[in-house]
Chains A and B, each alone.
Chain A
Amino acid sequence: MTKTVLTGVLGAAVLALGASTASAATLDDVKAKGFVQCGVSQGLPGFSNPDADGEWSGMDVDLCRGIAAAIFGDTTAVKFTPLSAKERFTALQSGEVDVLSRNTTWTMSRDTQLGLNFAGVNYYDGQGFMIRTDMNINSALELSGASICTNTGTTTELNVADYFRANNMEYELVAFEKADEVVAAYDAGRCDVYTTDQSGLYAQRLKLTDPGAHKVLPEIISKEPLGPVVRQGDDQWFNIVKWVHNATLNAEELGVTMANVEEMKESENPSIRRLLGTEGEFGADIGLDNDWAAKAIAAIGNYGEIFDRNVGPDTELAIGRGVNALWSQGGLQYAPPIR
Chain B
Amino acid sequence: MAVTDMGRGVADAPPKVALLNNPKARSWLFQILLGVAVAYLVYSGWVNMNANLQAAGVASGFGFLGKNAGFSVAQSLIDYDQGTSSYGRVYVVGVLNTLIIAVVGIIFATIMGFLLGIARLSNNWIVSRLATSYVEFARNVPLLLQIFIWYFGVLRLLPQPRESLDFGPLGLLNIRGYFAPKPVWGEGGAFVLYALIIGIAIAFGVSRWAYRRQMATGQRFPSLWVGLGAIVGLPLIVFLGLGAPLTWDMPVLGGFRPSGGMTVIPEFIALLVALSTYTAAFIAEIVRAGILGVSKGQSEAAHALGLRQGQNLRLVVIPQALRIIIPPLTSQYLNLTKNSSLAVAIAYPELTSVFAGTALNQTGQAVEIISITMLTYLTFSLLTSAFMNWYNARVALVER
Q: Point out residues on A near B: beta carbons under 8 Å.
A: 2-3, 6, 9-10, 13-14, 17, 20-21, 85-86, 89-90, 93, 110, 113-115, 143, 145-147, 152-154, 157-158, 160-162, 164-165, 171-177, 181, 184-185, 188-190, 192, 231-233
Contacts and interface: CB of A to CB of B under 8 A. Distances in A.
Contacts of A85: 361
B311 interface: no
Nearest to A146: B256
B115 interface: no
19 contacts: A13-B44, A14-B44, A21-B48, A89-B361, A113-B58, A114-B59, A115-B57, A153-B360, A157-B362, A173-B73, A174-B74, A175-B353, A175-B358, A176-B346, A177-B357, A188-B175, A190-B266, A192-B257, A232-B56
Contacts, number: 131
B48 A17 contact: yes
A211 to B, nearest CB: 19
B299 to A, nearest CB: 52
B48 A152 contact: no
Contacts of A174: 74, 267, 347
Interface stretch (B33-41, B129-137, B242-250, B380-388): B33-41
Contacts of A90: 366
A145 B267 CA distance: 18
B81 to A, nearest CB: 9
B170 interface: no
Contacts of A145: 254-257, 259
Contact of B72 (A20, A161, A177, A189): A161
Nearest to A85: B361
B45 interface: yes
Contacts of A152: 347, 353, 357-358, 361
Contacts of B256: 143, 145-147, 192
Contact of B56 (A93, A157, A158): A93
Nearest to B33: A6
Nearest to B48: A17
Given A176-B347, A233-B57, 17 more contacts: A9-B37, A90-B366, A113-B58, A113-B363, A115-B56, A152-B353, A152-B361, A153-B361, A158-B70, A158-B71, A165-B83, A171-B72, A173-B71, A173-B72, A175-B353, A188-B175, A189-B175
Given A14-B44, A17-B45, A233-B56, A147 B257 contact: yes
Contacts of A3: 30, 33
B156 interface: yes
A89 B364 contact: yes
Given A17-B45, A145-B254, A233-B55, A6 B34 contact: yes
B160 interface: yes
A113 B44 contact: no
Nearest to B267: A174
B344 interface: yes
Given A21-B51, A152-B357, A161-B83, A177 B362 contact: no
Nearest to A114: B364
B152 interface: yes
A160 B83 CA distance: 11
B253 to A, nearest CB: 12
B345 interface: yes
Nearest to B349: A175
Interface residues of B, number: 50
B131 to A, nearest CB: 33
Contacts of B267: 174
A153 B72 CA distance: 12
Contacts of A93: 56, 58, 364, 366
Interface string B39-72: 0110011001001110111110000000000111
B344 A190 contact: no
Nearest to A89: B364
B335 interface: no
Contacts of A164: 82
Shortest Cβ-Cβ A-B pairs, 4 listed: A153-B361, A115-B57, A115-B56, A115-B58
Interface string B218-259: 000000000000000000000000000000000000111101
A164 B347 CA distance: 20
A94 to B, nearest CB: 9
A6 B36 CA distance: 11
Contact of A17 (B37, B44, B257): B44
Contacts of B89: none
B45 A113 contact: no
B344 A177 contact: yes
B176 interface: yes
B22 to A, nearest CB: 15
A153 B363 contact: no
Given A115-B57, A172-B74, A165 B82 contact: yes
Nearest to B60: A113
A113 B83 CA distance: 21
Contacts of B362: 153, 157-158
| Best-surrounded residue of B58, B360, B361 (most CB of chain A within 10 A) | B361
Contacts of B52: 20-21
A189 B358 contact: no
Interface string B66-98: 000011111000000011000000000000000
Contacts of B255: 145
Nearest to A178: B345
Nearest to B52: A21
A293 B55 CA distance: 31
A161 B33 CA distance: 55
Nearest to B54: A115
Nearest to A86: B361
Contacts of B33: 3, 6
Nearest to B53: A115
A113 B347 contact: no
Contacts of A233: 55-57
Contacts of B70: 158, 161-162
A294 to B, nearest CB: 34
Given A86-B361, A113-B363, A189-B160, A175 B58 contact: no
Interface in B132-149: none
Nearest to A94: B366
B71 A161 contact: yes
Nearest to A9: B37
A192 B174 CA distance: 13
